[in-house]
Structure 1
Amino acid sequence: MYLYVLLACVLWGSQSHSSPMKLATETSHKNHTALCAEIQKELSADNNIYEGSFSRPQNTSEELCYGEFTKNFTSTLKDLAAKYKHQDCHLIKVYKDMEELTKICPKLEPTDTPKDCTIEQSDFSQFKEALESVIISIEGWKSCQRMDGDLWHFVFSWG
């Protein structure tokens, strides 16, 4: 009888320790692609054209500059979302998803020493096209997940 109780406790303990780690790594990887797909969907659904001049990358293939690009995109989206919060739910969703994406993906954090990233002023449709181009690139990345120190400790202490 005691053997069964001991065995049940051991199995329960091993499941409760291994499942969260597996879930955390799968969810992080899934989230960046899911967020990118959601951003693309919202951008496609948003038919509004905003007046003004918007900063956008001149060349969206400069992957080392993606941190600077996303900082500019997010800042612009934040301003637009605040200004048009009652008229454009798509824009607000894109802004929130962009913020979440930068939290998930360390490659999107701006560096302390910004590179010579080519930014130019454009109209809103070009801004939107550049954002979509960057998002498509990010979605295709093999890995875009953050590993916290506690999770690394957990992985190596169980390995």
Structure 2
Amino acid sequence: MYLYLLLACVLWGLESHSTPMKIASVSPQDNHTAVCAEIQKELTADNITYNGSFKRPQNTSEELCYGKFIEGFISTLNEISTKYNNDCHIKKVYKDMKELTKICPKLNSTEPHKNCTTETSNFSKFKEALQSVVISIEGWKSCKRIKSIL
């Protein structure tokens, strides 16, 4: 009886010691939720309002269009980053959006869906649309890639 109890304790101890190693081996670049959280943090920190008109999706709930929307967001962020080269927040969001397309193949632009419509708006509306899309992506389980130790 005591032998079984001792064996159970040893196995539990081994299991609890191996779990942190698995978590530590997961790279933040492989976890889309970490990248999405970073994008949201940077967007919140960036309180600059850029002048001009910016393309944004009319319907951010259209998941089949996310590849097309991401393409547009990345292009616009690159333009803003180039024009305002001192804005570290936009540069970071741009890099993280590109990283998201590597982590989540769902975000690669495929054949355009017929309802993937955009409209021009001010920067705050563009930013709201981007945040809405990022929040949706953050909730996707199909993007998560976790490396195993084995």
Q: Could you list the per-position Cα deviations for residues 10-47 of structure 1 after superposition, in whole angstroms to 9, with x for gaps in the alignment?
A: xxxxxxxxxxxx78x94478520000000000000000
Task: Figure out how many residues of one structure are paired with residues of the other and give that number.
Answer: 125
Q: Partners in 2 of 1:95 and 1:43 — Cα distance?
A: 11
State the distance in 2 between where 1:28 and 1:81 align.
24
With the length of structure 1 as denominator, give the TM-score of the two structures: 0.72
Same amino acid, percent of matched pairs: 66
Q: Hey, what does 2:93 align to over in structure 1?
A: 94
In structure 1, what is the Cα distance between the partners aligned to 2:127 and 2:108?
20
Per-residue deviation at 1:143?
2.1
Deviation readout 1:87-117 (Å, 9 max, x if unpaired)? x110110000001111110010001x21120
CA distance in 1, matches of 2:30, 2:135: 15
Residue 123 of structure 2 is aligned to residue 124 of structure 1: yes
Unaligned runs of 5+ in 1: 1-21, 152-157
Aligned letter for 1:31?
Answer: N
**Per-residue Cα deviation, 1:31-80 (whole angstroms, up to 9, x for no partner):** 20000000000000000001111110111100000000000000000010
Residue type of the alignment partner of 2:107: L
**Other-structure match for 1:49:** 49
The CA distance in 2 between the partners of 1:30 and 1:133, in whole Å, is 21
Q: Give the Cα–Cα distance (whole angstroms) in 2 for the partners of residues 82 and 146 of structure 1.
A: 32
Query: Secondary structure, in 3 states, of the residue corresponding to 1:125?
Result: helix
Return the letter of the residue paired with 2:41.
Answer: K
Pairing partner for 1:114 from 112, 115, 119: 112
> In angstroms, what is the RMSD of aligned CA positions?
2.3
How far apart are the structure 2 equivalents of 1:64 and 1:29? 24
TM-score, structure 2 as length reference: 0.76
Structure 1 stretch 46-55 or stretch 26-35: which is displaced more?
A: 26-35
Q: Is the partner of 2:55 in helix, strand or coil?
A: strand
Structure 2: tracts of 5 or more residues without a match: 1-21
Does structure 2 conserve the Cα–Cα contact (< 8 Å) formed by 1:29 and 1:145? no
